[in-house]
Amino acid sequence: MKGSEIFIKALEAEGVDTIFGYPGGAIMPVYDALYHSSLKHILVRHEQAAALAADGYARASGQVGVCLSTSGPGATNLITGIANAYMDSVPMVAITGQVATHFIGTDAFQEVDMFGISMPVVKHSFLVRRVEDLADVVAKAFRIARSGRPGPVLIDLPKDITIHDTSEPCFYGNQHDSLHRPEAKQLAMARSLMQESKKPLIYAGGGIRIAGAVDELRAFVNATGIPVVTTLHGLGSVPHYWELNLGLLGMHGTKQANMAVQECDLLIAVGARFDDRVTGKLAEFAPHAKVIHLDGDPFEVSKLRAADCGIVGDIKVSLNFLHGKLRIEEWVNTCMERKRAYAFRYDAPGHSIYAPGFINQISKRQSHRTIVTCDVGQHQMWVAQHFGFDMPNNHLSSGGLGTMGFGLPAAIGAQLACPEAKVISFTGDGSFMMNIQELATLKRYNLPIKIVLFDNQALGMVRQWQELFFEKRYSEVDLSDNPDFVEVAKAFGIPAMRVEGRDATDAAIDRLINDDGPLLAHVLIDPAENVWPLVPPGKSNSEMLEATSV
């Protein structure tokens, strides 16, 4: 068998069914082997989109996402998407073509050191040196990508390795590492801290989705009656409509969530990493609380905030052990009163479209299986605040890296992973231009993705910060020369509509909910609209700015 054939069979042995990529010279033998394989290849129009689509596919499906590119610029174009997956702990295998082994180090055409370039943003990098190693490398790459704390793995594949012959190798396929069991001593300590507390709070992060511990977290909440706050990637870990769910915490968190964190006497962090966008001024985050930290990654426990009780291992096992009713009625009542008092309102004055209200109306009419992808900026925070999620893998958002241009490719990946789901991509006029070429991919594969494009003719989040923290010196945020996005979409063969004025929202949302095929809604909003509340950089979460305070 040729190396390229071995490589494709090794992917098939791992259960791969979809690959996102873009061909070129060094990877051409692999594309030749793809021609007769069972794998479905999705041709994107930029390699960055291949990596981001593989990311969306992985988040929506729970499987390893796979992307493929040629050497040189094709490979370097993957790096942003690989880094995005690394920051958000998304399992991915990225495959890059490489010049033949005897050319490596000679500055050959389209040669770059992908092994070295990728090292800071992958769990592991492989440079294949022998065709006999191919099947083993693929098996190891998938095992590393999905085990422990998931993440991306790179396989750099020299062209001569793919064209050499060898005897048929053994294909391993679907190897998994067993999860570490939490220590009984730490679990007992956690139970003791819970019984002593009067104001406990659960801080739920993205690790819950990674661990597959959604059911266990919900059972834990029901058994203990402890209120919950969530991170951006923790949204949906408990349903948005649950009374004990106080919502998002941190920089753009709800007032009731941030107040609960600042007053609690016990913080139970589950699959969370004390990110700076969550904690604000770290030294003043949950200042009265002891901390129980449950995580599958031992390096996260006490990395930023010292844990009084660190529990490393299978989150599901830990949560199941910690059931027990607590006497915290007064605390729960206080949290619930604040939740009612500080609930978001959607009766904003004026006739222009109020983006939070538009998002909330779509949310109220969503189907059971609606997957939302977001780009990065104000619209991303509005979605986190105002769209109600019931499962964490229904909300795909670039958290750690904050990658503009994530939304459309991720939606393509999610739709292919879950063809029965309704997929909505929320974007802004700045982010959308980052990967607008993927409208061609949307059209080619006839994917029924709905795109909600909020247009304020500015880089909205940067403009908001310049308004609040840079004395309104608006430097390079003007996007008033945007193209006509409706005409752009139509040029790609995508139906589109312009939505302008509040009286047009009902009809627009009807189409977004009911149309069968793809649709772009170009929604014009007030350029001065800001995201509230906001914790200023370097401040405590108790120092929230609100619309009435500036």
Express each pLDDT in 324-357 by its tens digit.
999 999 999 999 999 999 999 998 888 899 999 9
Structural element, H or E, at residue 64: none
Residue type, 170: C
44, pLDDT greater than 60: yes
User: What pLDDT was estimated at residue 176?
Assistant: 60
In this prediction, residue 369 carries a pLDDT of 87
Q: What are phi and psi of 26, to 5 degrees?
A: -70, -25
528: nearest Cα among 547, 507, 543, 505: 547
**Residue pointed to by tokens 């661990």:** 211
* Mean of pLDDT values over 378-402: 97
N-term to C-term CA, the chain: 69
Peptide bond into 448 cis (omega under 30): no
| Confidence label for 178 from pLDDT (cuts 50, 70 and 90) | low
Per-residue model confidence (pLDDT) at position 348? 87
* Lowest mean pLDDT, pick from 31-40, 67-76, 229-238, 541-550: 541-550
Read off the pLDDT band of 66 (50, 70, 90). very high
Each residue's pLDDT tens digit, 292-333: 999 999 999 999 999 999 999 999 999 999 999 999 999 999
pLDDT bucket at 547, cuts 50 / 70 / 90? confident
Instruction: Please report which confidence band the pLDDT of residue 166 belongs to, taking 50, 70 and 90 as the band edges.
Output: confident
359: Cβ contacts below 8 Å, ≥ 6 apart: 382, 383, 386, 387, 426, 452
Instruction: Map out the domains of the chain with their CATH numbers.
Output: 3-163 (3.40.50.970), 184-341 (3.40.50.1220), 355-539 (3.40.50.970)
Q: Give Cα separations from 412 to 74, 137, 440 (angstroms).
A: 20, 28, 11
Q: What is the distance, to the nearest Å, from the Cα of residue 472 to the centroid of all Cα atoms in its chain?
A: 31
Tell me the longest C-alpha to C-alpha distance in the chain. 73
Condensed to tens digits (0 to 9), the pLDDT of residues 476-533 reads 999 999 999 999 999 999 999 999 999 999 999 999 999 999 999 999 999 999 999 9
Q: What is the mean pLDDT of the chain?
A: 95
DSSP state of 534: B
In this predicted structure, what is the pLDDT of residue 506? Answer: 95
- Judged against a pLDDT cut of 80, whether residue 124 lies above it is answered with yes
| Cβ contact 219:319 at 8 Å | yes
Q: Is 299 a catalytic residue?
A: no
Beta-carbon contacts of 46 under 8 Å, excluding residues fewer than 6 positions away, are 22, 77, 435, 437, 438
**Is 40 in contact with 19 (CB distance < 8 Å)?**
yes
Mean pLDDT of 425-434: 98
**Could you read off the pLDDT of 214-249 as tens digits, one per residue?**
999 999 999 999 999 999 999 999 999 999 999 999
Question: Using an 8 Å Cβ cutoff, are 194 and 266 in contact?
Answer: yes
DSSP-assigned letter for residue 108: -
| Set 1, 2, 9, 47: catalytic member | 47
Mean pLDDT over 179-193 rounds to 92
**pLDDT given at position 168:** 63
Percent of residues, the chain, with pLDDT higher than 70: 97
Is 48 catalytic? The answer is: no
Helices (H), 308-417: 315-321, 329-341, 355-364, 378-386, 407-417
Residue from 40, 109, 364, 490 carrying the catalytic annotation: 109
Whole-angstrom distance, CA of residue 239 vs CA of residue 390 = 4
Query: Cα separation of 88 and 539, whole Å?
Result: 25
Look at residue 550 and tell me whether its pLDDT is greater than 60.
no
124-127 and 228-230 strand pairing = unpaired
Q: Which residues contact 208 (CB under 8 A, 6 or more apart)?
A: 214, 217, 234, 237, 270, 271, 315, 392
256 is catalytic: no
- 385 as an active site residue: the answer is no
Mean pLDDT to the nearest integer, 29-46: 96
CA 379 to the chain's CA centroid: 15
461 labelled catalytic: yes
Whether 42 has a pLDDT exceeding 90, the answer reads yes
- For the chain, the residue count is 550
Average pLDDT (186-197) is 97
Q: Which segments within 478-533 are labelled E, that is strand?
A: 496-499, 519-524
Of these residues, 259, 404, 461, 544, which one is catalytic?
461
Which residue type, as a one-letter code, is found at position 506?
Answer: D
pLDDT of residue 180: 79
Q: Which residue has the higher pLDDT, 107 or 451?
A: 451
Q: Which of 12, 28, 103, 110 is catalytic?
A: 110
Catalytic residue among 159, 199, 316, 450: 159
User: Could you tell me how far CA 417 lies from the centroid of its own chain?
Assistant: 15
Sheet hosting strand 200-204, strand order edge to edge:
245-248, 228-230, 200-204, 266-270, 290-295, 309-312
Cα distance between residue 474 and residue 484, in whole Å: 24
Angle, alpha carbons 240-245-248 (nearest 5°): 80
Per-residue confidence (pLDDT) for residue 548, from 0 to 100: 74
